[in-house]
Amino acid sequence: MSELKYIGKTIPRPDSGDKAAGKALYIHDLSRPGMLYGKIKFSEHAHAKILNIDISQAQKLPGVMAVVTAYNTPEMRIGFLRDNFILKKDKVRQFRDEVAAVAAISEEIAEEAINLIKVEYEPLPGIFTPEEACKENAILIHENDPQGKPLKSNKVPVLFQHSSGDIEAGKKAAKHIVSGEFSTQWIQQSCMGTAGAIAEFDMNNNLTIWTKTQVPFLAQRDFLGFLPVLGLKEKNVRVIVPTLGGAFGTGLDTHAYEYICILLAYKTGKPVKIVYDRNEEFACLSPRQSSQTKITQGCDENGKLTFREIEVTQDNGAYTSWGATFPSVMLLPATSLYRVPNIKFHANIYYTNNTYCQAMRGYGNPEVNWALETNMDELAELVGMDPYDFRMINCNKSNETTPMGLKVTTCALDKCMESVANKLDWKHSRKQQSKFRGVGMASLFHVGGGGRIYKSDGTGMFLKLDDFGNVYVSHGGVEMGQGLHSVLKLGVAEALGVKPEKVFINQVDTNTCPWDVGTHASRGSFMAGNVTIRTANELRSKIFEHAKTLFPSLAEKNLKSFCKKNPSYEAPKFDIKEASQKGNFDLIDGYLFIKDAPKEPWLQVELGTLLRAIHFREQGTMLSAQAFYDPPNELPDWDKGYGNMSAAYAVGAQGAEVEVDIETGEIKILRMVAVHDVGKVLNPQTLKGQMYGALAQGLGYTLYEQILTKNGKILNPDFRDYKIPTFKEMDFPIDLEFVETNDVAGPWGAKGVGESGLCPTAPAIANAIYNAVGIRVRDLPITPDKVLAALEEKRKQNKK
Amino acid sequence: MKKFEYYKPKSLTEVWELKEKIPNSRFIAGGTDVMVKIKSGLLIPEALISLREVPELKNISVGKNIRIGAGSTITELIENAELQTAIPVLVQAARRIGSLQIRNVATVGGNLGNCSPCADTAPALLVLEARAVVRSDKNTREMPLQDFFTGPGTSCLSAKEILVELIIDIPSPQTKAISMKKGRVQMDLALASVAVLMETDGNFCKKIRVAAGSVAPVPLRLIEVEKFLENTEITEEKIKEAQRIAMESVSPISDVRTTADYRRHLVGVYVKNSIQSLMNGGRHEKRN
Amino acid sequence: MEGDMKREISFIVNSQQMKLEVEGHLRLIDLIRDQLGLTGTKEGCGEGECGACTVIVDGKSVNACLYPALEIEGKTLITIEGLLEEDNKPSFIQKAFIDNGAVQCGFCSPGMIMSTKALLDKNNDPSDEDIRTALLGNLCRCTGYVQIVDSVKAAAKEVRRKS
């Protein structure tokens, strides 16, 4: 492969300049002429009948243009199970249920109107744990399914399971068996830029909505389902994505507030903006799914895993969103992290009156990884083996198919683990050179080549050339801070053969961009890169086709000018016409030349010159190209938990060195190391940024973050009491290393890695804590009081 | 949010005139507590009277004694060279307040006047035996700082009274003191905080003052610990016992931040570590 | 002393003298974003916890969401827009952020950059500890802070080089 010009280099991201100057426009900064402000009234109960909603006072308030409830608007069900309603009727099922909304000429008036709305409730008993939910005679949170059929239990009809090999045989073959129960908490994605949307109808009743979404086309589809409910037939929806202040999974579903925004825009005939403030973001936007995992693993006397059994229970909350499908991704580590011949996986999920949950980075992988990688250490201890050696014995290899049917192409997990061990001076550090210090490690296995969870995992691209050699990129992938625009800009420059400065990325707009399923599953760069290469090649073919006839005259013009400036110059003998006819061109940095021609400057034709020659003539034309890329992966059979859902897989390992303060229970991170098989580094700087950021989120998940609730009410809906890592929590050295395995499916060999960085962080730290002081906390987060309790428990045990 | 008027009096006299005119108005200094309360709807003021530009509140001086105007910002306190020399423990505690942005506007008076049991400056001020000077248009009162706090969120101030300054006797040259605070992360309200001030002669403790925050309805002196250690020879056993006494002297609650047990445990650990640190000649926190 | 619901105040913003009629209940961030139309300063929490609204008043970094608007009277305010140099050039601090990968989603960036400016105006050779202390009140969810610290160090180097 010829050397790459831009891919693999640290080149500043194209969007940084505007963002650093405060010029980038987020949803918070946008406004439309005549715009109204929307505000939502949320439920004051976790579970209650709605007896009455009195909106009369609110309607009378000057400046209020519309007040909506489920009682004066048509019903609209949302969510992939259609069990949620944009405005609640008859009963509320969680504290944040939307019972009314207002559009007014100012935010203050909207807020005042909300306070004037009086809702009468009849409280009902609430259910706040899956255990309560599945008790016999437990009150039903949903009495009927979306079709109106009565429901008999609070079990959510979403099934994920897997069974491969022979579990009983595996158990029999095991010499050592360890079981454990683990849990992960709700955490909040905590994007610095909160959620919001602006909806506006034109006079043809076509809708435009600017919204904080990662799935513009699925959102378009969702909103298209709403228009007929409003009585609008055959109207269109245009979704435009503004600059996002982070996303991390919050934009993978469409939310009630978006539909309410649309509803208010329709009712008033004016643009309506709804933006969540931080309290609403915490209390009324779905957090990351929580989980409970039971795991049992066994191995033979040589440390080879013989079976793995995992059962997951999830608290769905009141309605169903993507949190309920976390098990689809849990299947990855469950079936494919390390080689295990006999596997059983089952996930149950129950409605409760807690807040319903949605996606967040990692999407179930960190949850199961937490249990699995801790259990690996426990099993290693039972065998009397070093945890690193134990992992190496069971390490995945490249070019293997896992029990889930995942076709692993490249896999440098062994190299990653080896490097982590080296960086931590593993054998030496494990022996605890200093008291209360320890090291631990954990690995990960995740999708790296898209993730087919819909019928299509595809993405399109449209490239347009103008008269000046500029190329305009229309692509549906969403830049949310991860650096997608960098990949697009550099990828197009690389694949097409122009300078990055000539590449312009159009705003994501469903009117103009080709379809993309969504920026999730770490698929952004993988998809963008692959479709870029295909589209660029298409465009190059077109350019070269025209160059066959036009290149000679343009080159000759160049020669004339050149000779004028260099009278003594003698041009080498070369039949340009004949060479051009063969079409053996190349385009690099915006200059076209014949591949085997002499390297004379006049034999380079600037792209813009060629493009103008193509355009400005009789029967002239403009050049553009498009492609649609749908990767070679499969939609799994979820009943079986089987199918090659990605075209490539990301693997890696993390290690941590910690020091435990046994007086205060505080965990001090001394250093972290992370080694990831990324296929190919597309941009070292942005890749590092992604890894550092993911690690910080992993750290928060492990030690600091937790949404606390009491009877369904969130107790800490603000940054004062929901603590994410600050500069000072992240002040330890982080050693990052990227292994390049050049995956055949990846653009320039690259795999997707947006989520990998936080998958193994919790067990890496927990395993280090165990090495340091011999205790385990199995419920995240590992807070100081839990550490002290565990140390106290250990002291008592030692005394016996 | 209901609109309200905002006044910027230029003297204490003006302050009281305004308060007389608008009895339901509220005082605001740095705003880092009041503005948060207004945003959350906990406070719906009829009017705000700003104390920011009242010169009588801004003085910091070290002379016969130390006087810190209640309107001094936390940054002004921290950057004052005289205070750094005379009462480093207060500077140390003040450094842990919030963030730089907060410290640049928050005031000493506000940090105390909010009467949160978590007030970061309170334990240090208590061990320094600071006195609070409180004034109304009619009256001036001076009291030990401990008497200023009457309960969580409540002070002894009557409607027109303002905390105007703190007076601290200059500690003897043998005085050493330390403060410790723990949050969930580095920028946080205190889960527990402790300050200890000692004067020793070898291992003999001539004087000891111990105070704690976030572990009782108000910041408080741990008198029992002081009684136990003052005028005695300090030994490791005594420090251990002091730790136990400290834990029994406080009445923490469990809340969203942490459990009562953990707060209680932390107070004990910090009292122990503070005393040990001072006995070993250190002035700096071990780690937190 | 009369108190009006709206009062005319004079102050300097981004080196420009400004006269504005301001209502008493407004916060500085409302004045900046809504009245002055300077949307570079972001509201991330409205409670002084995240620092996205950091601006510089009389040389000190403050949270605009906690700063009563009328208090800006007679003072000097700098927002992120004030860092832009002639001919649409980013300041050296912004350039350091851009070059060192400190900007991902960018929502925290204006606040981070203002805190950085306030720091470097006082201390042109800040230690790692100095940087983390000065920027502690600025939260970021994307970067893990590492490349932000790198950027501040790079900007500090530039300050030293220029002086």
Domains of chain A: 31-124+195-275 (3.90.1170.50), 291-453+635-799 (3.30.365.10), 458-629 (3.30.365.10)
Say which CATH number the domain at C73 has: 3.10.20.30
Average pLDDT over residues A29-35: 98
Same domain membership, residue C158 and residue C111 = yes
Cα–Cα distance for residue pair A100/A108, rounded to 1 Å: 17
* Residue B229 tokens, joined: 């250690």
- Residues of chain B neighbouring A785 (CB-CB closer than 8 A): 258-259, 261-262
Judge whether A426 and A443 are in contact, CB under 8 Å. no
Per-residue pLDDT band at B153 (split at 50, 70, 90): confident
CB contact under 8 A, A785 and B261: yes
Q: Could you tell me the sign of the dihedral formed by the alpha carbons of A706, A708, A712, A713, in that order?
A: negative
C1 domain residue, yes or no: no
Proportion of chain A above pLDDT 70, given as a percent: 100
- What CATH class is the domain B56-168? alpha beta
- Residues of chain C neighbouring A721 (CB-CB closer than 8 A): none
Say which CATH number the domain at C97 has: 1.10.150.120
Q: How far is A493 from chain C (nearest CA, A)?
A: 19
- Best to test chain B binding among A280, A663, A726 (most B CBs inside 10 Å): A663
Per-residue pLDDT band at C163 (split at 50, 70, 90): confident
Judge whether B251 and B216 are in contact, CB under 8 Å. yes
Same domain membership, residue C62 and residue C130 = no
Name the residue among A28, A689, A728 with its Cβ closest to that of C143. Answer: A689
Average pLDDT over residues C47-71: 98
CB contact under 8 A, B266 and A664: yes
Same domain membership, residue C55 and residue C28 = yes
Q: Check pLDDT > 70 for residue C100.
A: yes
Report helix, strand or coil for A640: coil
Q: Can you give the residue range of the structural domain that contains C98?
A: 86-162
Looking at residue B84, its amino acid is Q
CB contact under 8 A, C106 and A20: yes
Cα–Cα distance for residue pair A737/A66, rounded to 1 Å: 56
- Residues of chain B neighbouring C138 (CB-CB closer than 8 A): 99
Cα–Cα distance for residue pair C141/A250, rounded to 1 Å: 13
Cα–Cα distance for residue pair A672/C57, rounded to 1 Å: 38
Judge whether C12 and C18 are in contact, CB under 8 Å. yes
**Domain limits, chain B:** 5-50, 56-168, 175-279
Half-sphere exposure at residue A303, Cβ-oriented, CA atoms within 13 angstroms:
20
Q: Could you tell me the sign of the dihedral formed by the alpha carbons of C147, C143, A772, B288, in that order?
A: positive
Same domain membership, residue C74 and residue C10 = yes
Q: Could you tell me the sign of the dihedral formed by the alpha carbons of A169, A171, A176, A182, in that order?
A: positive
Same domain membership, residue C113 and residue C50 = no
Per-residue pLDDT band at A320 (split at 50, 70, 90): very high
Q: What's the pLDDT at B282?
A: 59
Judge whether A725 is closer than 8 Å to chain B, CB to CB: yes
Report the candidate in B42, B17, B57 with the shortest Cα–Cα distance to residue C3.
Answer: B17
Phi first, then psi: what are they for B236, rounded to 5°?
-60, -40
Edge-to-edge strands, sheet with A176-184: A160-164, A343-351, A305-317, A291-299, A176-184
Same fold: B5-50 with B175-279: no
Report the candidate in A749, A653, A239, A203 with the shortest Cα–Cα distance to residue A446.
Answer: A653
C133 domain residue, yes or no: yes
Same domain membership, residue C101 and residue C59 = no
Report helix, strand or coil for A349: strand
Number of domains in chain C: 2
Q: What's the pLDDT at B281?
A: 77
Judge whether A191 is closer than 8 Å to chain C, CB to CB: yes
Residue ending a domain, among C81, C107, C135, is C81
Residue ending a domain, among C38, C62, C81, is C81
Same domain membership, residue C121 and residue C59 = no
Q: Say whether the ipTM exceeds 0.85.
A: yes
Q: How far is B259 from chain A (nearest CA, A)?
A: 8
Q: What's the pLDDT at B284?
A: 44
Phi first, then psi: what are they for A261, rounded to 5°?
-60, -45
Judge whether C22 and C69 are in contact, CB under 8 Å. yes
* Residue A391 tokens, joined: 């992992």
Same domain membership, residue C117 and residue C90 = yes
Q: What's the pLDDT at B285?
A: 42
* DSSP category for residue A5: S
The model's pLDDT over A349-368, given as tens digits with 9 standing for 90+, comes to 999 999 999 999 999 999 99
What is the fold of B175-279? Enolase-like; domain 1 (3.30.390)
Give whole-number Cα distances, A62 to A39, A107, C12, C136, in Å.
16, 13, 36, 43
End-to-end CA distance of chain A: 66
Query: Which residues partner with A161 through β-bridges?
Result: A346
Phi first, then psi: what are they for A92, rounded to 5°?
-110, 145
Same domain membership, residue C155 and residue C128 = yes
- Start-end of H helices in A206-288: 216-224, 256-268, 278-284
Residue ending a domain, among C81, C101, C123, is C81
Cα–Cα distance for residue pair A357/A363, rounded to 1 Å: 11
Name the residue among A243, A727, A734 with its Cβ closest to that of C132. Answer: A727
The model's pLDDT over B230-239, given as tens digits with 9 standing for 90+, comes to 999 999 999 9
* Residue A562 tokens, joined: 């050149």
B283 or A245, greater pLDDT? A245
Average pLDDT over residues B28-50: 95
* DSSP category for residue C27: B
- Residues of chain C neighbouring B79 (CB-CB closer than 8 A): none
- Residues of chain B neighbouring A668 (CB-CB closer than 8 A): 287
Compute the mean pLDDT over every residue in chain C, rounded to the nearest whole number: 96
Average pLDDT over residues A712-735: 97
Cα–Cα distance for residue pair A263/A76, rounded to 1 Å: 10
We find that the CATH architecture of domain B5-50 is 2-Layer Sandwich (3.30)
Q: What is the largest CA-CA distance in chain A?
A: 100
Give whole-number Cα distances, B144 to B111, B168, B219, B220, in Å.
16, 10, 13, 11
Half-sphere exposure at residue A644, Cβ-oriented, CA atoms within 13 angstroms:
15
Same domain membership, residue C98 and residue C76 = no
Same domain membership, residue C148 and residue C90 = yes
Q: Of chain B residues 24-53, which have a CB less than 8 A from chain A?
A: 40
Cα–Cα distance for residue pair B43/B35, rounded to 1 Å: 9
Q: Check pLDDT > 60 for residue A1.
A: no
- Residues of chain B neighbouring A784 (CB-CB closer than 8 A): 258, 262
Per-residue pLDDT band at C2 (split at 50, 70, 90): very low
Phi first, then psi: what are they for A672, rounded to 5°?
-130, 150
Q: Check pLDDT > 50 for residue B87.
A: yes
Average pLDDT over residues B164-175: 96
Same domain membership, residue C93 and residue C70 = no
Judge whether A246 is closer than 8 Å to chain C, CB to CB: yes
Total CB pairs under 8 A between chain B and C: 99
Q: Is the peptide bond before A781 cis (omega within 30 degrees of 0)?
A: yes
Judge whether B273 is closer than 8 Å to chain A, CB to CB: yes
Cα–Cα distance for residue pair B213/B219, rounded to 1 Å: 5
Nearest 5°: CA angle at A20, between A15 and A21? 105
The model's pLDDT over A593-633, given as tens digits with 9 standing for 90+, comes to 999 899 999 999 999 999 999 999 999 999 999 999 999 99
